[in-house]
Amino acid sequence: MQPIVIGAGPAGLSAAYELARQGVTSTVLEGSSERVGGLSQTVQYRGFRFDIGGHRFFSKSAEIENLWTEILGQEMISVPRSSRILYKGRYYDYPLRARNAFVNLGPSETIRCLLSYALARLRPRQPARSFEDWVINQFGERLYSIFFKTYTEKVWGMSCQDISADWAAQRIKGLSLLVAVQNALFPSSGGRTVKTLIDNFRYPRLGPGMMWETLQSRLENLGCAIELDSPVAKIAWSRGGNFTLIAGREPGSRTLQATHVLSSMPLREMVLALEPAAPSRVLEAARSLKYRDFVTAVLIIDQSDLFKDNWIYVHESNVKVARIQNYKNWSLDMVPDARYTGLGLEYFCFQGDGLWNAKDSDLLAMAREELALLRLADPARVVDGTIVRMPKAYPVYDDDYAESVAIIRAFLESELPRLQVIGRNGMHRYNNQDHAMMTGLLAARNVLGGRFNLWQVNGDAEYLEEDRQACDGRAVPRALSRE
């Protein structure tokens, strides 16, 4: 048996680890030339450590929680969550607290919010077609414009009028801000633990990459090869037969044989790498899958205490930054010298747009200027910085994605049953590390004779038996087609 795992992110490394624990060594091919961890890697710049977005370790799956403990033990620290929303120069506790929200809004704005809420209840928008309609009907126009509009549009790059109302209505669980507003205004309506709103989470002392780098060493000690700088470019297959993979930057630079393939590379690219090519309907489905990309402007500031939060959501519309991470508040060991602070200013974009293509020096200048506009730091104290671009940070759920994924899935299941897709972009599912890991573990068990349907793993990383409906995972907007 010769399994090959594509991608050394949480899904791929978990799959390789499960195989190794059962005595089967695999080769892991990783496209990055620098490090393992994928979206959950930790980047280092002059001793300062950064996440791609802050990565909280929290799972409803005891198996995943135990695995994290097994890998890192005491190196997993417990972090109290502290996050706020910045809007019109004021800080709102997040999760929202009704009193704090209304004190910040002031009496006249509070009255306006309550009146607009009453109006929305009396005269709801009918039919509620868009996300904007739906949220206004629930909370009124004023609360919508303060707490929902700007941030949602920055994240998804779409107007709230173009996002389908189903997203808010059906997937309320994952839409953390909506739940937060609901909990703040109507505390009795909640009750269950909302994953995105938990008060404490775990975090590796040196950032999420520490988890994956430790697992990398452990796998190497168990005899697995983790090959960096090995992007898979071709997957030659025959019905029911073995696979030949071509990996590396130069065409034909490395050829490997496999009996099983566990792929966490983006589903679109995986299908396009198949040889012979998939039928045209499947290729078309693969080409239609879209992604949202992510730029972090890392700024180093020679001040020890800037603000108390782990991160701040920026609802100001005069800046492009959507969220600001303060990594030192996740773990003190994220900075090499406690006199300094490392911030990550997060920008959502599409690969190839103006923001993505901007020169690093221009992005750093913009980030510095925006930090000053938000009065979060004196720009003169910004001593250094760097830019990290992360393509395909978010798989996009548009009108067609579910059908496209279903077409690809049916083709793979009938023609290539020994090629399993795992993880976030691997399955085109907008989920967290625990979900990605669980799909990796189950795929490995399938290689060893199990019969798990990976699509039955839900957003809470629970495996649901066939007779229970697996939910799609976390909420993401669907675009409305313009009439």
- Residue from 61, 432, 446, 458 binding ligand FAD (CB under 6 A): 432
211 contacts 68 by C-beta, under 8 angstroms = yes
What is the phi/psi pair of residue 317, to 5°?
-90, -5
- Residue from 86, 364, 436, 442 binding ligand FAD (CB under 6 A): 436
Question: 3-class DSSP state for residue 1?
Answer: coil
Smallest gap from residue 140 Cβ to ligand FAD (A): 30
Rule CB under 6 A: say whether 52 interacts with ligand FAD.
yes
Q: Is the peptide bond before 391 cis (omega within 30 degrees of 0)?
A: no
Rule CB under 6 A: say whether 355 interacts with ligand FAD.
no
According to DSSP, the β-strands at 83-87 and 311-314 are parallel
Smallest gap from residue 90 Cβ to ligand FAD (A): 25
- Between 90 and 129, how does the x/- string for binding to ligand FAD read (CB under 6 A)? ----------------------------------------
Nearer to ligand FAD, 136 or 436 (CB): 436
- Between 270 and 299, how does the x/- string for binding to ligand FAD read (CB under 6 A)? ------------------------x-----
Smallest gap from residue 93 Cβ to ligand FAD (A): 19
Nearer to ligand FAD, 53 or 207 (CB): 53
- Between 222 and 251, how does the x/- string for binding to ligand FAD read (CB under 6 A)? ---------xx-------------------
**Start-to-end Cα distance in the chain:** 54
For residue 13, how many C-alpha atoms fall within 13 Å in the half-sphere facing its CB? 31
Instruction: Provide the β-strand partners of residue 349.
Output: 293
Smallest gap from residue 304 Cβ to ligand FAD (A): 25
Candidates 27-35, 169-177, 216-224, 238-246: pick the segment binding ligand FAD (CB under 6 A).
27-35
For residue 319, give Cα distances in angstroms to 224, 259, 325: 46, 51, 16
- What six digits make up the tokens of 345? 């200013």
Smallest gap from residue 473 Cβ to ligand FAD (A): 10
211 contacts 331 by C-beta, under 8 angstroms = no
Nearer to ligand FAD, 135 or 271 (CB): 271
Rule CB under 6 A: say whether 30 interacts with ligand FAD.
yes
Give residues with Cβ within 8 angstroms of 376, minimum separation 6.
Answer: 306, 307, 312, 324, 343
Rule CB under 6 A: say whether 393 interacts with ligand FAD.
yes
Q: How far apart are CA 416 and CA 425, in angstroms?
A: 19
Rule CB under 6 A: say whether 24 interacts with ligand FAD.
no
Rule CB under 6 A: say whether 39 interacts with ligand FAD.
yes
Q: How far apart are CA 154 and CA 429, in angstroms?
A: 20
Smallest gap from residue 274 Cβ to ligand FAD (A): 12
- Residue from 4, 5, 8, 367 binding ligand FAD (CB under 6 A): 8
Q: How far apart are CA 441 and CA 420, in angstroms?
A: 12
Rule CB under 6 A: say whether 209 interacts with ligand FAD.
no
According to DSSP, the β-strands at 200-204 and 90-94 are unpaired
- Residue from 269, 309, 462, 472 binding ligand FAD (CB under 6 A): 269
What secondary structure does DSSP assign to 411-448, as a single string?
HHHHH-TTEEE-SHHHHT----HHHHHHHHHHHHHHHT
What H or E segment, with its residue span, contains residue 368?
Answer: helix 360-373
- Residue from 116, 164, 433, 446 binding ligand FAD (CB under 6 A): 433
State the residues that interact with ligand FAD by CB under 6 A.
6-12, 29-32, 38-40, 52-56, 231-232, 264-265, 269, 294, 393, 423-426, 431-434, 436
